[in-house]
A = this chain, B = another copy of it.
Amino acid sequence: MLDKLIINTRSREEFVEITPQVEEIVNRQQIKEGICLIFVPHTTCGILINENADRDVQRDIISHLKKLVPPGSSFRHREGNADAHIKSVLVNSSLPLLIEKGYLLLGRWQGIFLAEFDGPRRREVWVKLVKSS
């Protein structure tokens, strides 16, 4: 079964934590052992793991990615969001996680984030659990 989360982002660049929604899917499907694959079907946002305790970490990541890939006029792509496409490649669109004894496994400080680079937009996050036989 495929679950789809709908996330309405509010800014051009923003990280939205989705850890509780993913955990809810794992709990509901009652899969004991396997993989949880999280996927964004978009080319100007990404999916990532990082610290969810201090929100300044998210701000630092966003602002440093902006330094590495500044928006600007030197890109060929005429929609004006080439920077967001490049950040999406650096961050990735697909994230496989572990399920063990019915729980999504994450480290103590880890959260799962949709990384918006070209919002505000309505985004989907696709989540599929694959049971280990």
Contacts and interface: CB of A to CB of B under 8 A. Distances in A.
Contact of A64 (B35, B42, B69, B97): B69
Contacts of A54: 77-79
A77 to B, nearest CB: 4
Contact of A56 (B35, B78, B105): B78
Given A51-B85, A94-B95, A126-B105, A56 B76 contact: yes
Contacts of A5: none
Given A64-B82, A92-B92, A128-B132, 12 more contacts: A33-B130, A35-B96, A41-B107, A43-B57, A56-B75, A57-B82, A60-B76, A60-B85, A64-B86, A100-B128, A105-B126, A130-B130
Interface of A: 2, 33-35, 37, 39-43, 48-51, 54, 56-57, 59-61, 64-65, 68-69, 75-79, 82, 85-86, 88-98, 100, 105-110, 126, 128-133
